[in-house]
Chain A
Amino acid sequence: MRNPFQSIRWRLQAWHGLFLLVVIAGFCYMAYQLAWNNQSRRIARNVFEAERHLFHPLFEAARPEGADEDAPVSSSMLLERLRAHQIELPPETLLRFESTESGFAYFVLYDTDGSVLMQSPNLPPDMAPLPNDGDDYDEDMRTIDNRREMARYNAKGVSSIVGRDITPEKDDLHRLGLSLAASGLGVWIVGLLGGWWLAGRALKPIHTISQTATRIAEGNLTERIDTAGNNELHQLARVLNDTFEQLHAAFERQRRFTADASHELRTPVTILLAETERILKRERKAAEYQEALTTCRESATRMRNLIQALLLLSRQESAPPQRESCDLAKVVGEAVAQLEPLAREREVHLQTDLPHLACQADPAALSILASNLVANGIQYNRPGGSVAVSLQQRNGSAVLTVQDDGPGIPQEDLPHIFDRFYRADKARTGTSGHTGLGLAIVKTIVENHQGTLAAESPDGAGARFVVSLPVEPTPQEPV
């Protein structure tokens, strides 16, 4: 908006102004032309009338004496009589051609050699007969300066020019032109103002939207655009609001994640600091140092596990899975084998049913997935319990099921167990390697593979996690 001429409102205004100007100018020009045509026709009628008033008495006077009143009089007869100066115009006719006031009528009659036979006293100077261009007869209605006149040429008779002064009509037209221009300008300005107002009105919702968006950009993420209404801009506003909603949710998730992660990291740091400060306050027995160092090591291990889990999670989130042909049974089997020592320590029995199952997937990610699910099953189990891991191919999907027979998951916790840092048992086990991210990582990996993940826990019958991954057709090796 810094350069006002780049704003939509100014551009609209400029185009609107230009368009309006063309329309108004065209309209005025047509009105002017119409008026001019009207005037011309009226003037022509006047000229013809003047001709009639002149020639009627002339031909009457040229009629031979005693001839029949209806006998035609030829132009050559009139010419002869005029040459002989035998014709006088009646006074009322002369009166008509005497005036020199604006709008006066005049005439001049020429002989065949171009010499003047008769003229009105008010004849303007520099009059010339119509030149001979070979025809016997010729006529021309013409406008010269402030005169409009009918010039007739007759090779064998009288040539004539009858015309009138058109100063008043020209003045009228001039005035009309001025008033048309003035009112056109007025209309144009009113139109410009109206256009400016209309453009402003049409752009106001956009202004509101941009202001709201600015406030959101400044950090007020809960702000929304008013979408009451159903025009195009309201639809745009709704689309924007949806986008803001998603951004806000993503931002909120990120904020909570950061807060949670920092909280989870702060606790072990606090323990490290508090414990070392306490122990260094005075001399201690060796056993006390040992105990404190054990606590410190546990805290450090906790931090390491958390950092590893955070890195793993962010890597899974940011990078698409590196798909390659792999045998799911092998991947899951290796992950389970690595957890055998932990299972033995917890006195949990691991059962596997892993038939060969080829698929296109990221083996490293799937290994983490299986490992996290099985570790979770071992963790939330009782001594003497078991964790069953099985693979199946079902409807074009590879289905991995991890079932434990521990205490299970309370129904109210089920929807949240895949949330980051959510712990169903609510008690921090602190040193047991729990980061609260294991199942969140599982969820991210499954989503990366476009699979589905479900957790169920019938009352007291342990927990069952079912991962279903679409199996992409493995390229068949030529037989």
Chain B
Amino acid sequence: MRLLIIEDDPALLRSLAASLREENYAVDTAMDGEEGLYKAQNTAYNGIILDVLMPKLNGWEVLARLRPQNRTPVLMLTALDATPDRVRGLDQGADDYLPKPFDLDELLARLRALIRRSMGQVHNLIQLGDLQLDTAARRVEREGQEVSLTAREYSLLEYLALRRGQVVSRAELYEHLFDEDDDSLSNLLDVHVSNLRKKLGHDLIATRRGHGYSIP
């Protein structure tokens, strides 16, 4: 899952990005509204964390220019916690609103819920035959036994599982699993897929030559 954080405070931006990367999200950052809007319009993110009070373009303006064409879930993060501000944020197209200071665990849970909803899931557990994915704990179990996966392998599996039945192109996988600073070589994706097949069974992920991968 790839996220964009638009926040003008460098220390908070650094800390947030570190937290989300540790949760295995691919994270892009923007220091002001203009940069954030540009990135949001040019990359398919799974979620955007948007600060309100920012130089150049503030959060409201970014949101106004982003909607309605862009349907990426937006979580507004701001020091303005009066009810009218929250209502305004939600009415203008934000999907969630979290006042500062927030609880990191709450932010993570809200993000998971936002992404889950945007993918059409209603809870944290995804069933794939005898495999069970817990997207909150980021674990995979087979018949009650945990299967050990690397963070990248898990992210790839989760993304394909959430798009179950659809063919996901390599480009899309790259866009959603790696952030802008990630210079992994393209064939690493093949390595992750082949590792997943070794650990979980050959039939789990199908290759559509020239199109991409899918979980049938």
Contact = CB atoms under 8 A, between A and B. Distances in A.
A415 interface: no
B107 to A, nearest CB: 8
Contacts of A431: 11
Nearest to B51: A267
Nearest to B31: A427
Interface string B99-120: 0111111010000000000000
Contacts of B18: 278
Contact of A266 (B19, B79, B103): B79
B16 interface: yes
Contacts of B9: 267, 271, 428, 430
Nearest to A275: B15
Contacts of A266: 79, 100-101
Given A274-B15, A278-B18, A295-B15, A259 B80 contact: yes
B104 A274 contact: yes
Given A267-B100, A270-B101, A274-B19, A430 B11 contact: yes
Contacts of A298: 11
A428 B15 contact: no
Nearest to A295: B11
B10 interface: yes
A427 B33 CA distance: 12
B195 to A, nearest CB: 24
Please report whether the interface of chain A is mostly helix, strand, loop or mixed according to DSSP. Answer: helix
The interface centre, meaning the residue of B19, B55, B104 with most chain A CB atoms within 10 A of its CB, is: B104
B79 A271 contact: no
B15 A271 contact: yes
A267 B12 contact: yes
Interface string B6-47: 001111101110110010000000011000000000000000
B164 interface: no
Interface residues of B, number: 25
Nearest to A272: B101
B168 interface: no
A430 B10 contact: yes
B8 A428 contact: yes
A274 B16 CA distance: 7
Contacts of B12: 267, 270-271, 274
A266 B101 CA distance: 6
Interface string A270-307: 11111101100100000000000001001100000000
A93 B88 CA distance: 113
The interface centre, meaning the residue of A263, A267, A271, A274 with most chain B CB atoms within 10 A of its CB, is: A274
A262 B15 contact: no
A270 B102 contact: yes
The interface centre, meaning the residue of B12, B19, B53, B56 with most chain A CB atoms within 10 A of its CB, is: B12
Contacts of A199: none
A402 B57 CA distance: 33
A143 B101 CA distance: 105
A281 B105 CA distance: 10
A269 B107 CA distance: 15
A278 B56 contact: no
B11 to A, nearest CB: 5
A277 B103 contact: yes
Contacts of B56: 426
A426 B34 CA distance: 13
Nearest to A273: B101
Given A428-B9, A428-B10, A278 B55 contact: no
6 residue pairs, one from A and one from B, having the closest CB atoms: A426-B55, A277-B104, A263-B79, A270-B101, A266-B79, A278-B19
Given A270-B101, A274-B107, A426-B55, 12 more contacts: A262-B79, A263-B53, A268-B11, A269-B101, A270-B12, A271-B9, A273-B102, A274-B104, A281-B22, A430-B10, A430-B11, A431-B11
5 contacts: A273-B103, A295-B15, A299-B11, A426-B32, A430-B10
Interface of B: 8-12, 14-16, 18-19, 22, 31-32, 53, 55-56, 79-80, 100-105, 107
